[in-house]
Amino acid sequence: MNYKALHKKGTVQLLLGLLMGIIFGFLLQKGGVTEYDVIIGQLLLYDFTVLKVIFSAVLVGMVGLYILHHFDLITYHIIKGSVGATVIGGLIFGIGFGLLGYCPGTAAGALGQGWLDALFGGIIGLIIGTGIFAALYPRLLFILNYREFTKPTLYEWFRVKPCIFICFYAAGILVFFYLLEMAGL
Amino acid sequence: MIIELITMQQWSPYLAGAGIGILAWFTFLLSDKGLGCSTSYLKTCGMVESGLTRGRSREKLYYKEFIPSVDWQWMLVIGIIIGAFISSILSGTFRLGIVPETFGARFGFDPVIRFIIAFIGGVLMGLGARWARGCTSGHGISGNMQLSTASLVASVCFFAGGIGTALIIYSL
């Protein structure tokens, strides 16, 4: 099966993007995370739906990707990070997250189920915010490159094989879920 | 059974999350990409700017790295809107709204206040997402499942900033 030839087919990829987006939006909505009330409940620490969705996706995703990668069926796309880019950018994002109560993906989903604040506040704001970054980018380079992370993956810090790391990470996620359920959250 | 599932108002978050995990296998396998959203907003801005400046804005350094165009990820975000619409129609939960319950109870139900705060949040989030090179999807979901150092650090910062901001604005 020469599915890798698919990657270069432009129109097919646009249709696949749309189809995968529809599935993604469907799952986000069914998971409840396209609701401001649910997301802000997570940030105020009384509703853990958001972290349950994220960590379930990470758990299932990382095991599958590892197996696919092991058989050379996929390529990983790991984003490089640095203190200047990841920490500062992450905290700016976080402040926006607390004010907006949606993230870039769930804002689109919230609009789909009828929330107009996700459009006029959120999506318009996101478009302008990313544009501001594009305008500032040449002047931010020295911050963005400040203290790059020397090890791109987590298992390198622990000097273990990826599969060993995945076992511990998966166990950690399951313990986290167990504790959440025990605490009735 | 299937009909019941797709018309349900809400699934267990574990089930929805596991579904997203499986979806991610296919984004890598069929499209050689991870789930991500924030560059779609950037590209939208880039296409608008390009239209307004008759293409001169394409000279910007960042738009040379991320060429403003309709691509896989842009279609993904359009798909999210459609998918959430379908899901909410099938479960009968679609309705137009402006001020969410929790927000209204704290800040009042005036749409203008909600729009202003959401807009400021959106601008900061857009800026931060490109600054950090990813969002809750790109880092939080698909970055973390690739065991990326940057994605874990970014996710911790997203939630640290978000929890701090939410606690401040809801307790002041």
Task: Report CA torsion sign: B120, B124, B129, B135.
Answer: negative
Residue A4 pLDDT: 83
Per-residue confidence band for B3, with pLDDT thresholds at 50, 70 and 90: confident
Q: What is the 3-state secondary structure (H, E, C) of chain B?
A: CHHHHHHCCCCCHHHHHHHHHHHHHHHHHHHCCCCCCHHHHHHHHHHHHHHHCCCHHHHCHHHHHCCCCCCHHHHHHHHHHHHHHHHHHHCCCCCCECCCHHHHHHHCCCHHHHHHHHHHHHHHHHHHHHHCCCCHHHHHHHHHHHCEHHHHHHHHHHHHHHHHHHHHHHHC
In chain A, the largest separation of any two C-alpha atoms, in whole Å, equals: 49
Across the interface, do A43 and B163 touch by the CB < 8 Å criterion? yes
At residue B4, the pLDDT reads 87
* Three-state secondary-structure class, residue A82: strand
Question: Which pLDDT value is given to residue A1?
Answer: 53
Residue of A nearest to B117 (CA): A99
Q: Do B125 and A100 touch (CB under 8 A)?
A: yes
For the entire predicted model, the pTM comes to: 0.96
- Rounded mean pLDDT for each run of 10 residues along chain A, 185 residues in total: 81 96 98 97 98 98 98 96 98 98 98 97 97 97 96 96 97 98 94
| Sequence-distant (≥ 6) Cβ neighbours of residue B92 within 8 angstroms | B7, B9
Is B143's pLDDT higher than 60? yes
Q: Provide the pLDDT for residue B1.
A: 79
- Between CA B1 and CA B154 the distance in angstroms is 39
Global ipTM: 0.96
Instruction: Tell me whether residues A56 and B16 touch, CB distance under 8 A.
Output: yes
Q: Which residue has the tokens 């919230």?
A: A110
DSSP structure string for A92-113: HHHHHHHHHSS-HHHHHHHHHT
Q: Which residues of A touch B98 (CB under 8 A)?
A: 115-117
Which residue in chain A is spatially nearest to B39 when comparing CA positions?
A130
Q: How far is B109 from chain A (nearest CA, A)?
A: 12
Alpha-carbon gap, residue B138 to A24, rounded angstroms: 13
| Nearest residue of A to residue B76, measured between CA atoms | A21
Inter-chain contact B131–A93, Cβ cutoff 8 Å?
yes
Tell if the CB–CB gap between A133 and B126 is shorter than 8 Å: yes
Q: Which of B79, B126, B165 sits opposite A99 (nearest CB)?
A: B165
Residues B163 and B62: beta-carbon distance below 8 Å: no
Average pLDDT over every residue of B85-107: 96
Mean pLDDT value of segment B92-102: 96
CA A117 to chain centre: 22
Both tokens assigned to B26: 């296919």
Q: Do A96 and B123 touch (CB under 8 A)?
A: yes
Contacts of A140 in chain B (CB under 8 A): 131
Nearest beta carbon to residue B37 from set A13, A77, A105: A105
Q: Do A20 and B141 touch (CB under 8 A)?
A: no
Q: Min CA distance, A184 vs chain B (Å)?
A: 14
**What tens digit of pLDDT does each residue of B17-44 get?**
999 999 999 999 999 999 999 999 999 9
**CB distance B129–A130 less than 8 Å?**
yes
Task: Give long-range contacts, CB 8 A cutoff, 24+ apart: B87-90.
Answer: B87/A25, B87/A26, B87/A29, B87/A30, B87/A112, B87/A113, B87/B6, B88/A29, B88/A112, B88/A113, B88/A114, B90/B6, B90/B7
Q: What is the pLDDT of chain B when averaged over all its residues? A: 96
